[in-house]
Amino acid sequence: MNERYTVAVVQASPVVFDRDRTLDKLHALASDAARQGARVVLFPEAFVSAYPRGLDFGAYVGGRTDEGRDDFRRYWESSVDVPGPAIDRLSRTARACDIYLVAGIVERDGGTLYCTVVFFGPDGTYLGKHRKVMPTAAERLVWGFGDGSTMPVYQTPYGTLGAVICWENYLPLMRAAMYAKGIELYCAPTADARDSWIASVRHIAVEGRCFVLSCNQFNRRRDFPANYRTPFGDDPETVVCRGGSCIVDPFGNFLAGPNTDGEAILVAEIDRAQIIRGKYDLDVVGHYARPDIFQLHVDERAKRPVTTEDGKAGWQKAEGQEFKDARQEGSKVTA
């Protein structure tokens, strides 16, 4: 294991609803982070190709508008197939930069979109994904719900790597599940720029005795299409999301950020020895747990809406595909 190394979080805006140009920008920013020595690089929630902040998608109780349906169609058309060409491009970026790349995408699967994080190794290997299990508030208009089958962690030379997206981090049982997996590099891509979020990631770092990489977008109105219907007005310099990205150590200390000034690449040196120093007096799934009182059951089976039997012993089909537990998606998964 590498005891000391550099990580980076990229605070930037995508080219909203333009997948290919966003991937170009991601490659350039990842390359910049790698030149600064980063071995692990995190991009924000829904970076490819948009967190649709302020859109209502024409929804009201009892009805939807044609304009809102077109907004959804535009969002769907700029989203990412997994696997697919965009995943191939992200793989090439990871390999070219020789980094572990963790990136927030909007994944499409049939007619449904998911808020997803994808993971790549420095040789370009696609390791797998995590689908957000609990979209928040109006996000549920446009994002489906992930299940327990995509909550992986990955053993890397830099520690155990995983991701929990935005307000999933307010699910205490999900945090406990990730701590039980031994997460050390706790990636928290988000869309929350409030002070309360910054307090939360410091708490998570202390609670889990892990390094938290919190990564948000920084957007101005000019980063969105001119016909983007939002309450933010039309002044191109209006800040739509202020960022707030940061890197926190297992004692809750800031190693970088929080940054609310603009687009930035935040880098910090990780000292893995801090994890064990912290667990000396707090290991919430070890000596500080009380399993005689509290226990958590986690169901990581994939949940399929349609499963058909074809009469062949031991063979099921789910959604027209041979059934495969999603936890086996990446050979390096430990779950």
45 among known catalytic residues? yes
Confirm whether 215 is a catalytic residue: no
Length of the chain (residues): 335
Q: Catalytic: which of 25, 45, 107, 129? A: 45
Could you say which of 97, 115, 166, 241 is catalytic?
166
For 88-149, strand residue ranges (E) read: 100-109, 112-120, 126-131
Token code pair at residue 335: 């779950």
CB atoms inside a 10 Å sphere around CB 125: 15
Per the DSSP assignment, residues forming a β-bridge with 313 are: none
Question: Environment class of residue 63 by beta-carbon count within 10 Å: exposed (0-12), middle (13-18) or buried (19+)?
Answer: exposed
User: Is 166 assigned a catalytic role?
Assistant: yes
β-pairing, 211-215 vs 185-189, is parallel
In the DSSP assignment, the letter for residue 15 is -
Sign of CA dihedral 28, 31, 35, 38: positive
Measured CA to CA, the distance from residue 145 to residue 238 in angstroms comes to: 32
Among candidates 296, 31, 318, 320, which has minimal Cα distance to 175?
296
Beta bridge partners of 307: 318
Looking at 132, 184, 215, 279, which residue is catalytic? 132
As annotated, the active-site residues are: 45, 132, 166
